[in-house]
Amino acid sequence: MQFTHEMMLQSDSGYCMPFEEKNKDVEMSLGYGKQKHPKTGEKFFHHGIDFDVKHYLLSAVATGKVSGLGNDAIHGIYQVIRYGNYEVTYSHLSNVFANYGQVVKAGQVVAVSADMLHMEVKYNGEEMNPLEFLTMIYGNLKTMEQQGQVGAVPQFVTIDMDVHTMYDKDQKEIEELMMRFFPDYMSDMSNGLYSIPEHTELALRNIFTMSAMKNYFYETLPSMANPLGMGARSIPLAEKVQNLLIADFLNYLALRHHVFLSTMSALEKKKAEDRAVASSGLIDPLAELEIDVQSFDIPRLVSVYPDKSGIRWWTKAWFNNSEAGEAAIEIDRMLAIKFINDNVDKDEWLEEYFPKQMEVYHHAIEQTKEQILNQLNL
């Protein structure tokens, strides 16, 4: 079916492309019509177009209504949205945010892609090339720009405040993790597979209670981006809430996916996982068994020593009863004194100066646990 001017889509909320290009042009991996299968080489008719967009947030392109949801062997999870006489299908999704019957607006995030996006378009029930539909949407956006209007943008709205958190240095990585795991995070919470720890919930309650008492809310006119009408006085509140929510998201990643920030050391990862398990109420299956897992680990020794003048100091470590040990590393004299006075944890010291060897150590512990669990059929 060929696009004609009579097929122009009207939308009172404006228009939006299906996804944002992340600092690069998104490639169409497979076009519409007669194609050759990229893996088998077999010729076939492709009823849509494919984009190489892995874990992208997907937006509604105009004002519409979700008319279908499903999951099958060919399309995976898919979502159908009706825009006037058009029906647009997003397939190969990892999650959906707009349910059947829900009215959506241009720019509203409605789903997230899995490893790719397959898109199909029908007009009055007749199939058409999705590129023609997207060309029409793009043309409408350009027309709005020429008229001095701003087309709808994906609704990743934020409060216009300079809010800082303890995770600022990892912001880019956390945002990438959220793009990938946030839909699962929300889904697992709604399905009861993950619960916010009680101490986090209490902390949030206390923050909002105290903020209400101090009249932090409704200092400005509320909006969709700022529903509580928070002003400049609320920045400390926003920072505390952000810290708690980011910490809970990272807690979820550690507990459910064993995923950690790349900047964390092996010891920090272990502590984060232990905290996540403790806050979840899960029981360690080895806790009630009289098994000393640490007895199976890699022997490790560490020491410090000075030069003849006592001015320069080094630290040296031996793993797995190695006679030669690791190469010595020069350290600050005051740190050496703290070590000698037992004011430094041995494993933390090893994590700081011999991180690669400690990765092997933690891996050995985890392997031992898995072997014991397998032997006990737990």
Digit-coded pLDDT (tens) for 62-99: 999 999 999 888 889 999 999 999 999 999 998 888 88
- Give the 3-state DSSP-derived string for 130-155, with helices as H, strands as E and coil as C: HHHHHHHHHHHHHHHHHCCCCCCCCC
pLDDT band at 216 (very low <50, low <70, confident <90, very high): confident
Whole-angstrom distance, CA of residue 8 vs CA of residue 20? 23
81-82-84 Cα angle (round to 5): 155
Strand partners, 121: 88, 128
pLDDT band at 128 (very low <50, low <70, confident <90, very high): very high
Q: Which residue has the tokens 């159908």?
A: 80
Name which of 27-31, 50-54, 140-144, 258-262 the model is least confident about. Answer: 140-144
Whole-angstrom distance, CA of residue 220 vs CA of residue 256? 39
Contacts of 222 (CB under 8 A, 6+ apart): 228, 229
Q: What is the mean pLDDT of residues 8-13?
A: 88
Asked if 76 contacts 92 with a C-beta cutoff of 8 angstroms, the reply is: yes
For the question of whether the overall pTM of this predicted structure is more than 0.75, the answer is: no
Q: What is the pLDDT of residue 149?
A: 64
Whole-angstrom distance, CA of residue 153 vs CA of residue 264? 35
Q: What is the pLDDT of residue 64?
A: 95
Tokens encoding 291: 């098994």
Tokens encoding 10: 């009207």
The per-residue pLDDT for range 348-367, each reduced to its tens digit, is 888 888 888 887 777 776 67
Q: What is the mean pLDDT of residues 101-115?
A: 90
Contacts of 28 (CB under 8 A, 6+ apart): 49, 50, 51, 52, 131
Largest separation between any pair of C-alpha atoms in the chain: 91
Q: What is the pLDDT of residue 83?
A: 95
Q: What is the pLDDT of residue 157?
A: 39
Name which of 77-91, 205-219, 322-336 the model is least confident about. Answer: 205-219
Name which of 126-130, 167-171, 217-221 the model is least confident about. Answer: 217-221
Domains of the chain: 5-146 (2.70.70.10), 168-280 (no CATH), 293-376 (no CATH)
Asked if 144 contacts 14 with a C-beta cutoff of 8 angstroms, the reply is: yes
Q: What is the pLDDT of residue 338?
A: 84
Cα distance between the two ends of the chain: 58
Q: What is the mean pLDDT of residues 168-182?
A: 84
